[in-house]
Amino acid sequence: MGFGQSVKIKGYRYLYRGFVSAIVATNLISQGVWSHPAQAAFLPYCQQTAEGIARKDTARKAALKNDKGAQKRYQTLVAEQATQLRNCRNQNWLKTQAIWIRLYPCDVQPGALEEVLDRVVDRGYNQINIEVFYNGQVLLPQADNQTAWGSVVKLPGSENIDLLAQAIQKGRARGLSVYAWMFSMNFGYSYAIRPDREAALAKNGQGQTSLTVNSIAGLSTDLGLFNPNEAFIDPYSLQARQDYAQLVEAVAKRRPDGMLFDYIRYPRGRGSASIASKVQDLWIYGDAAQQAMLRRALNDKGRELIKRFIKRGFVSSADVVAIDKLYPQQPDPPMWQGRTPALNENRAPIARRAAILQADLWRFSVAHAMQGVVDFLTEAVVPAQRLGIPTGAVFFPEGNQNVGQGFDSRLQPWDRFPASLEWNPMAYGVCGNAACIVNQVRRVVGQAPSGTQVKPVLAGIWQQSISNRPPLEVQMEAIRQANPQVSSISHFAYSWQEPLSDRSRKFCQARGQF
């Protein structure tokens, strides 16, 4: 069946393509997962009926022809469906069902944004997470963009079109909460190649940046594609923090219903490089990160030992002897923030002292790298929080794990993220069923402080498996059974649910529609 075709279930018509199948719906109703439609008066997952969708599509197309009667009918239908959506979600175990989406320059065309938002509502979503900063560009109008990045929309005559502000206004009219979704420590290729921003980039011990290292890109909105635009900054860089604060302030000025911060981490290497097992693997070799690390020293011995460890990756017995001679007036052992020296450490054999200090320096280096991530996030959300805008962090549940003798190279310490933020774990586990996905969510829920809002992010599509992941409805029901306290789930991404719509919107300029 094609889009718009339907099957009947006990007097109700459900869209077939992209929606929960009739068989699944019937089974879930019989199991008591959903109320019988006649009792609840809403379709499973708060979808719109095929008839309701067709009626709204017809009204929208007629409204574009400046037919005032059609415009009124369309507005009435939009308002009615917004009320239906709110009522349905209030009665549903899943209070918030969100979807992640990227807008394109093509969406400035008359009726284009309305069509996208209508499709979102048709699928029962009541929150939309709009990508406003990605790949080194920002969803701000050219005439009001003072940030370090170019605007997404660069079409002639569109300099004053504020697509984000329009999406917020039109989304709310449809019963949608509109969140701004932003890359964070990934500033994009266009930023990285600026000569005046080179010092802001993160560097490892081989002198590499994320542009030159062999890394794995994040999950792209185009299924299966990597993102060559990833460029990670040093979270300790004052320049990077100032640039990002200006960006957050500009987005927050549009007053979205929330702001979500993604890429709060370092790059993930390929193969053995996916594990950070030595100090040179860490992204702490930028000038700002190194200076901040040295400032954590609590005495001269500690500062000198940190310098030697960063430079060579180890400390030797000769280093310990040399430092004692350099600072004979300091009887204490080398000290830095967080260090508790071993009892009688100074009286231990030199080789033993060197081994203890090297182990402590490794843990200290990892902690320093992680603290940069936490500090960057904590500072980044301030402009939004000042305006009372809810904020959230997007992260990988396994991004903070120890791996053998090392650590996941992303060094994403989400367990130390502020509990006041909404936690959005990307449960993208791949094991052919929902078990690994449920385990990822369970791990986050188990470590979240009391009162933290945990809102899992799922990858997939309705009704069928993709990339060895089960259908979305299967994932959601499994999470519900294992973690009934979860009442908000989001889906990555609109481009997966509506590939034809997304592709046509993305390339319409090339097809000469402007």
Tell me the range of 344-353, 396-405, 409-418 where mean pLDDT is highest. Answer: 409-418
In the three-class reduction of DSSP (H, G, I as helix; E, B as strand; rest coil), residue 204 is classed as: coil
How does DSSP assign 371-423, residue by residue?
Answer: HHHHHHHHHHTHHHHHTT--EEEEE-TTTT-EETTEEETT---GGGS-TTSEE
Q: Do residues 165 and 198 make contact, with C-beta atoms less than 8 angstroms apart?
A: no
The band of 343, judged by pLDDT with boundaries at 50, 70 and 90, is: confident
Q: Which position has the token pair 């430079």?
A: 311
Is residue 169 over pLDDT 50? Answer: yes
Number of H helices, E strands in the chain: 17, 17
What type of residue sits at position 250? A
* Domain extent listing, the chain: 97-275+386-507, 287-373
The band of 217, judged by pLDDT with boundaries at 50, 70 and 90, is: low
The band of 508, judged by pLDDT with boundaries at 50, 70 and 90, is: confident
Is residue 384 over pLDDT 70? Answer: yes
Average pLDDT over residues 99-114: 96
d(CA 476, CA 461): 12
d(CA 86, CA 92): 10
Is residue 19 over pLDDT 70? Answer: no
What are the structure tokens assigned to 389, written together? 């805008």
The model's pTM is 0.90
Average pLDDT over residues 309-323: 97
Is residue 26 over pLDDT 90? Answer: no
Handedness of CA 470, 474, 480, 482 (dihedral sign): negative
Task: List, in sequence order, every residue forming a beta bridge with 336; answer none if it has no partner.
Answer: 297
3-state helix, strand, coil split of the chain in percent (to 5) is 45, 15, 40
d(CA 259, CA 426): 16
d(CA 82, CA 56): 12
CA atoms within 13 A on the CB side of 285: 19
Closest CA to 372 of 251, 454, 444, 290: 290
Is residue 25 over pLDDT 90? Answer: no
- What is the CA angle 194-196-198, rounded to 5? 70
Q: What is the pLDDT of residues 491-507, one digit of tens each?
A: 999 999 999 989 989 98
In the three-class reduction of DSSP (H, G, I as helix; E, B as strand; rest coil), residue 51 is classed as: helix
Share of the chain above pLDDT 70, in %: 88
d(CA 366, CA 379): 20
Average pLDDT value for the chain: 89
d(CA 176, CA 409): 37
Closest CA to 189 of 217, 231, 220: 231
Q: What is the pLDDT of residues 367-378, one digit of tens each?
A: 999 999 999 999
Q: Which position has the token pair 């997404």?
A: 152
- What is the CA angle 170-453-102, rounded to 5? 35
pLDDT of residue 229: 82
The CATH superfamily holding the domain 97-275+386-507 is Glycosidases (3.20.20.80)
Q: Per residue in 229-241, is it b (16+ CB within 10 Å) or e — as a string? A: bbbbbbbbbeebb
